[in-house]
Amino acid sequence: MPRRRPMGRRATVFWGLTALACAPQSTASPNPEAKAHPLGYRVVHGWPHLPLGELLGQVSGVGLDSRGTVIVFRRGQRSWPFPSDSLRTDPIEAPTILLFDSASGRQLSAWGAGRFAMPHGLTVDSRDNVWVTDVALHQVFKFTQDGALLLTLGERGVPGDDSVHFDRPTDVAVAPDGSFYVSDGYRNSRVVRFSKEGRYLFSWGRKGNRPGEFDVPHSIARDAAGQIYVADRSNARIQVFDSVGHFLAEWKGSELGRPWAVRVGPEGYLYVVDGGDQPEAPPDRARVLKLTREGRVIESFGSFGNYDGQFVWPHAVAVAPGGTVYVGDVSTGMRVQKFIH
Ligand code: ZN
């Protein structure tokens, strides 16, 4: 990564909770602490092992269960029809959920064949349930880890913005009591909260760029204290809310880039995928950032490219205890990579 010039204490304050909401993007300064670890993150070559002849395709989601099994949500032969915005709704024939042993990279099982049309977000909750969103079907699903369907929200193929419809829902965050939040999505501009049974509770947000508004809420995460983090992708920011949707802060600036995905790691740090500036500018930046809960970037790794350890369109991130990071890549990236510290 480029050498960062020390900017003094003021730059650190910029990334604090209190200073961010009113700071324009153009004044963002590099954080002197945003430097790589002396050894940095290193990609694990040859991870995962795929069966002979198997191609992952675009990997839109990745998560980890309580045993460290890596769960991948992939599109197989189907790709987002960029730059078209018209999505097919017929199901992908191949299995779309693949489970890998984290240490060996060996594929353990696969399911989700003939079910999904455009896989998007994947979240594993504390009970090892697997939650996924499908942006072509406008639906959110909850499964057991071996693929038994527990809950379906949204009407298949029917977009909407009421309590029983979504419009391209992107991601799910689950609270310990089983209630959950859905970021919705590519076309709606809101976060919806449901009870653990899937009953609509409330929602917040509308299209815009002011506090509490969204422009493609693309990923959502919840920390142990109940705070909600939304990767507000087209607004190039992370927004922070309390558990009932009150706006707390926004994190925005050149150091943060354009957040596509956000997750809270086991140690309480946030991990954000910066997907670059496309389509407004060439996708010449792609990286993973590690942040404190106050939004201060303390480490980053990765760059745009297609060699090992690089990303084309990094779309999803998952973090294991100890800091091992998994990153899913869409567009022509089409893989999941494992990084160790
Ligand atoms: Zn996406």
What is the 3-class SS of 179-219, one letter each residue?
A: CEEEEECCCCCEEEEECCCCCEEEEECCECCCCCCECCEEE
Q: How many CB atoms lie within 10 A of CB 95?
A: 17
Q: Is 305 left (phi over 0), alpha (psi -120 to 50) or beta?
A: left
Q: What is the phi/psi pair of residue 316, to 5°?
A: -150, 150
Topology adopted by domain 42-340:
Neuraminidase (2.120.10)
Instruction: Evaluate the CA torsion angle 196, 202, 205, 211 in order and state its sign.
Output: negative
| Separation of CA 292 from chain center | 17
8 Å CB contact between 32 and 11: yes
What would the DSSP string read from start to end of 79-101? ---TT--PPP-SPPSS--EEEE-
- Give the residue extent of every domain in the chain: 42-340
Q: What is the pLDDT of residue 279?
A: 67
Q: How many A from CA of 80 to the centre of ligand 1? A: 9
Say how far apart CA 286 and CA 261 lie, in whole Å. 12
pLDDT, position 33: 41
Ligand 1 centroid – CA 315 distance (Å): 6
Burial 44-69 (b: 16+ CB within 10 A, else e): beebbeeeeeeebbbbbbbbbbeeeb
Strand partners, 314: 329
Q: What pLDDT does 277 receive? A: 79
Vertex 126: Cα angle to 122 and 127 (nearest 5): 95
Task: Give 58 Cα–ligand 1 centroid separation in angstroms.
Answer: 11
Tell which residue, 219, 181, 218, has the closest CA to residue 200: 181
**Distance from the CA of 75 to the center of ligand 1, in angstroms?**
12
Query: Can you give the pLDDT at residue 85?
Result: 82
Cα 118 to ligand 1 centre (Å):
10
Pairing of strands 42-43, 119-124: unpaired
Per-residue model confidence as pLDDT tens for the chain (341 residues): 333 333 333 333 333 333 333 333 333 334 444 444 455 899 999 999 998 888 999 999 999 999 999 999 999 999 988 778 899 999 999 999 999 999 999 999 999 999 999 999 999 999 999 999 999 999 999 999 999 999 999 999 999 999 999 999 999 999 999 999 999 999 999 999 999 999 999 999 999 999 999 999 999 999 999 999 999 999 999 999 999 999 999 999 999 999 999 999 999 999 999 998 766 677 678 999 999 999 999 999 999 999 999 999 999 999 999 889 999 999 889 999 999 98
The alpha carbon of 260 and the centre of ligand 1 are apart by a number of angstroms equal to 7
> Distance from the CA of 100 to the center of ligand 1, in angstroms?
22
Instruction: Give the pLDDT confidence score for residue 39 in this predicted structure.
Output: 58
d(CA 69, CA 93): 24
User: What pLDDT is attached to residue 22?
Assistant: 33
pLDDT of residue 101: 97
Q: How far is the CA of 108 from the centre of ligand 1 (A)?
A: 26
DSSP 8-state assignment for residue 51: P
Return d(Cα 145, Cα 123) in angstroms, integer: 11
Mean per-residue pLDDT of the chain = 89
> Which residues in 192-225 are b (16+ Cβ under 10 Å) and which e?
bbbeeebeeeebbbeeeeeebbbebbbbbbbbee
Bridge partner residues of 152 (DSSP): 141
